[in-house]
């Protein structure tokens, strides 16, 4: 998962308030010069939030955000098997996939992976094995989610030892019973700096997720979490927005229940334009027409595409080892656990275009999950800037699923937008100060109707109306007003 200002202007000592309509939105945006910053502007938090809500109004955004809600770690770390106080989704897991099933699939697992840690990883995320109230079978979805996860665990961290290799596999375990053998990427150990590509650069990734000296961000845990931007993003979810916990101590992803929580987090997180794997399994996600045309629909194969489609999906990868293994493990597990495969589900992804190669721009039925600066030109706003962000189909510094990220995008919090205006968001904007009329001509009134030839004063200048107008701010570079003096 991979996730680029100030604008110069002539400053007036007087406050300038601009009341304009948002393009493609019914919300208004008020832009006021910052009296304490000669190159800055003030925006209202209420209006910023209204703009955000208008852009992300599809109910799916709420579903995605709900899936990423977490419990406090103090609750999670109290979870133990058969504990009456365990959260409901944990109790469901204990019912459909108990300790005996865990032991059956982890005969070669490293000791760092335990059933208790598995339950805690799930307990952190209420949506995993959560309750469906719309008629869907919660237990069946839970079981299918776990078995899907184990099929991928068997590929990512499995032993891959043939059943008839008795010297290395004396229990003669199926390969799909050999999950979670590796806690750390093979060839790496704690204390080794590595996987530091991009660390120390002057970019938004390092401003949001700064690498710690001497740390290695190689693969750890059931999903083999790698690279500082993934450790930082996962840390924010696990530690109330604090990216530095795991950036400073990435070994926690190997040596604590985070080794499994990192995989559950990945399972629940959409990566625009990819859906969350959970929503492929429970069919909350509805593939778009372009995705269907690219062979992407329901089934285990799409979860491969979500995880590693660029390397494992497409006709050219039909016989490649990784996807072939995943499919073998899924088919062995789903058969053993009697997981029903629906008629419209495909186990393979060789017939699919990888998500990374699929151009979904302009698709009305595709939703994006990241905010980026909107560079649409607005002639009636300072510097022609929009002062807004838009949803895009690639990863940026700002997620539509993280509270507060839209405001951070508008204020360019991580300095990712070059030449973006200097913006401060405030709870309440003071009303603009009255400006004295020029030569006795009354000041422009945004609520008043003006006819051709009417004169107003605005910003120490006199304008005359060229035609009927109301609410159009006088300016010298066009529109219904012409400057007189």
335 in a structural domain: no
Residues 31 and 142 in one domain: no
Is pTM, for the whole model, over 0.85?
no
356 in a structural domain: no
Query: CB burial class (10 A; 0-12, 13-18, 19+) of residue 91?
Result: middle
Residues 225 and 238 in one domain: yes
| Residue in 47, 156, 291, 346 annotated catalytic | 156
386 in a structural domain: yes
| pLDDT of 93 higher than 90 | yes
Residues 398 and 461 in one domain: no
Residues 42 and 190 in one domain: no
Local structure of 232: helix, strand or coil: helix
Domain boundary among 281, 314, 348: 281
CA distance 147 to 168: 25
Residue 271 confidence (pLDDT): 83
116 in a structural domain: yes
Residues 145 and 31 in one domain: no
CATH number of 235's domain = 1.10.530.10
Q: How would residue 16 be classed by pLDDT, with cut points 50, 70 and 90? A: very low
Residues 269 and 169 in one domain: yes
Helices (H) and strands (E) in the chain, counts: 17, 12
Residues 396 and 266 in one domain: no
Domain boundary among 241, 265, 281: 281
| pLDDT of 472 higher than 70 | yes
Residue 434 confidence (pLDDT): 52
Mean pLDDT of 392-397: 87
The count of structural domains within the chain is 3
Closest CA to 49 of 408, 435, 430: 408
Residues 96 and 193 in one domain: yes
Local structure of 81: helix, strand or coil: coil
| pLDDT of 26 higher than 70 | no
CA distance 393 to 272: 5
Q: How would residue 382 be classed by pLDDT, with cut points 50, 70 and 90? A: confident
Mean pLDDT of 103-110: 97
438 in a structural domain: no
Contacts with 435 (C-beta within 8 Å, 6 or more apart), sequence order: 14, 443, 457, 458, 459, 460
124 in a structural domain: yes
The DSSP call for residue 455 is E
Whether the CB-CB separation of 323 and 313 falls below 8 Å is answered with: yes
What are the tens digits of pLDDT across the range 164-184?
Answer: 999 999 999 999 999 999 999
444 in a structural domain: no
- Dihedral sign (CA 18, 21, 24, 27): positive
The owner of tokens 């003006």 is: 450
Residues 131 and 209 in one domain: yes
The owner of tokens 């100030």 is: 6
Mean pLDDT of 209-221: 95
Q: How would residue 145 be classed by pLDDT, with cut points 50, 70 and 90? A: very high
Domain boundary among 229, 260, 281: 281
What are the tens digits of pLDDT across the range 414-441?
Answer: 999 999 999 999 998 876 555 567 788 8
Number of C-beta neighbours around residue 422 at 10 A: 16
Q: Which residue has the higher pLDDT, 230 or 22?
A: 230
Residue 445 confidence (pLDDT): 83
Full residue range of the structural domain in which residue 464 is found: 449-483
- Is 88 known to be catalytic? no
Residues 164 and 260 in one domain: yes
Whether the CB-CB separation of 407 and 45 falls below 8 Å is answered with: yes
CA distance 93 to 128: 9
338 in a structural domain: no
Whether the CB-CB separation of 423 and 30 falls below 8 Å is answered with: no
CA distance 170 to 259: 27
For 458, phi and psi rounded to 5 degrees? -155, 125
Q: Token pair of 129, please?
A: 């094995």
Residues 175 and 251 in one domain: yes
Residues 214 and 73 in one domain: yes
């Amino acid at each position: 998962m991979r996730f680029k200002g100030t604008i110069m202007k002539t400053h007036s000592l007087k406050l300038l308030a601009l009341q304009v309509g948002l393009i493609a939105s019914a919300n208004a945006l008020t832009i006021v010069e910052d009296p304490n910053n000669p190159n800055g502007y003030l925006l209202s938090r209420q209006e910023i939030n209204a703009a955000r809500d208008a852009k992300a109004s599809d109910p799916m955004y709420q579903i995605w955000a709900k899936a990423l809600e977490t419990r406090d770690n103090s609750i999670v770390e109290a979870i133990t098997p058969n504990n009456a106080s365990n959260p409901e989704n944990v109790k469901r897991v204990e019912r459909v996939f108990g300790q005996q099933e865990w032991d059956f699939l982890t005969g070669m697992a490293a000791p760092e992976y335990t059933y208790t840690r598995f339950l805690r990883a799930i307990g952190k995320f209420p949506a995993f094995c959560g309750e469906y109230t719309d008629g869907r079978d919660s237990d069946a979805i839970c079981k299918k989610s776990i078995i899907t996860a184990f099929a991928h665990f068997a590929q990512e961290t499995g032993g891959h030892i043939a059943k008839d290799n008795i010297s290395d596999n004396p229990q003669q375990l199926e390969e799909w019973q050999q999950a979670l053998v590796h806690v750390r990427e093979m060839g790496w150990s704690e204390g080794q700096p590595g996987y530091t590509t991009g660390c120390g650069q002057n970019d938004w990734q390092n401003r949001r997720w700064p690498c710690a000296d001497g740390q290695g961000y190689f693969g750890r845990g059931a999903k083999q979490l790698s690279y500082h931007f993934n450790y930082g993003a996962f840390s924010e979810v696990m530690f109330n927005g604090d990216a530095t916990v795991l950036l400073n101590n990435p070994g926690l992803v190997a040596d604590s229940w985070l080794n499994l929580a990192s995989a559950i987090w990945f399972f629940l997180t959409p990566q625009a334009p990819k859906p969350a794997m959970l929503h492929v399994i429970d069919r909350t996600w509805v593939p778009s027409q372009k995705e269907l045309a690219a062979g992407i629909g329901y089934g285990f194969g799409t979860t491969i595409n979500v995880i590693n489609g660029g390397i494992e999906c497409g006709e050219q990868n039909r016989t490649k080892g990784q996807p072939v293994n995943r499919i073998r493990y899924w088919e062995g597990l789903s058969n053993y656990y009697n997981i029903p495969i629906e008629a419209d589900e495909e186990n393979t992804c060789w017939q699919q275009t990888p998500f990374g190669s699929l151009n979904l721009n302009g698709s009305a039925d595709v939703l994006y999950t990241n905010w980026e600066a909107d560079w649409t030109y607005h002639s009636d706003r300072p510097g022609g800037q929009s002062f807004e962000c838009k949803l895009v189909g690639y990863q940026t510094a700002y997620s539509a699923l993280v509270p507060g990220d839209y405001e951070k995008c508008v204020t360019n919090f991580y300095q990712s937008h070059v030449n973006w205006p200097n913006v401060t968001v405030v709870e309440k904007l003071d009303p603009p100060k009255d400006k004295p009329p020029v030569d006795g001509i009354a000041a422009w009134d945004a609520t008043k109707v003006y006819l051709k030839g009417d004169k107003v004063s605005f910003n120490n200048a006199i304008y005359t109306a060229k035609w009927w107008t109301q609410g159009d701010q006088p300016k010298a570079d066009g529109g219904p007003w012409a400057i007189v003096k």
